[in-house]
Amino acid sequence: MSTETNRRESVVTLDAPTVRDGAALWRLARDSRTLDLNSSYSYLLWCRDFAATSVVARDEDGEALGFVTGYVRPDLPDTLMVWQVAVAEPARGRGLAKLMLAELVRRRQPHGQVYVETTITSDNIASIALFTALGRDHGAGVGRTELFGTPLFPDRHAEEVLYRIGPFGPFGPFDA
């Protein structure tokens, strides 16, 4: 667990999620109005099975302000695949997503993950900026390739572009 002070001087604690966070993560994803909402059950499983590759940000009262979920790619053990990033509406614009991502990358480096992958639709300008900045701010390359074209989806989902960022050099304890 680490405690950070964001730009507005409020204390935010970054920690691995627990099963008790599952419902809050589901609500944050639902309320984002941009993420693909998974079942509430999947968020509970995620908090149980992928807690070590995910992070939750909490306020002084322990309420979840945001999360990043990820997993290590089985075929690329040096790669952390970031599944979802969400920040509660009142906490947006303060650099919390960037802080959570940097913390997760820092935590995973001792385990051999020096690359981050994520998929982003071409209309998600905020996520494109977030992940591009993650690479730029840490001197890591950012590659882009189409991963899943629209014809692969049964529901007219927009194409998903794969962003591969890295390799990352060592992060300091508060290197966001």
pLDDT reported for residue 169: 87
> Phi first, then psi: what are they for 60, rounded to 5°?
-60, -25
Structural domain including 118 reads 2-166
Structural domain contains residue 8 = yes
Q: Which two tokens stand for residue 44?
A: 């509970």
Structural domain contains residue 61 = yes
Structural domain contains residue 9 = yes
Cβ-based neighbour number of residue 7 at 10 Å: 10
pLDDT reported for residue 4: 55
Structural domain contains residue 66 = yes
Structural domain contains residue 48 = yes
Q: Is 165 within 8 Å of 135 (Cβ atoms)? A: yes
CA 32, 119, 72, 40 torsion: positive or negative?
positive
Q: In a structure prediction context, what are the per-residue pLDDT tens digits for the chain, which is 176 residues long? A: 555 554 445 789 999 999 999 999 999 999 998 899 999 999 999 999 999 999 999 999 999 999 999 999 999 999 999 999 999 999 999 999 999 999 999 999 999 999 999 999 999 999 999 999 999 999 999 999 999 999 999 998 999 999 999 999 887 555 55
Question: Number of folded domains in the chain?
Answer: 1
Structural domain contains residue 29 = yes
pLDDT reported for residue 122: 93
pLDDT reported for residue 32: 93
Structural domain contains residue 175 = no
- Give CA separation, 98 vs 17, 39, 85, in Å: 17, 26, 10
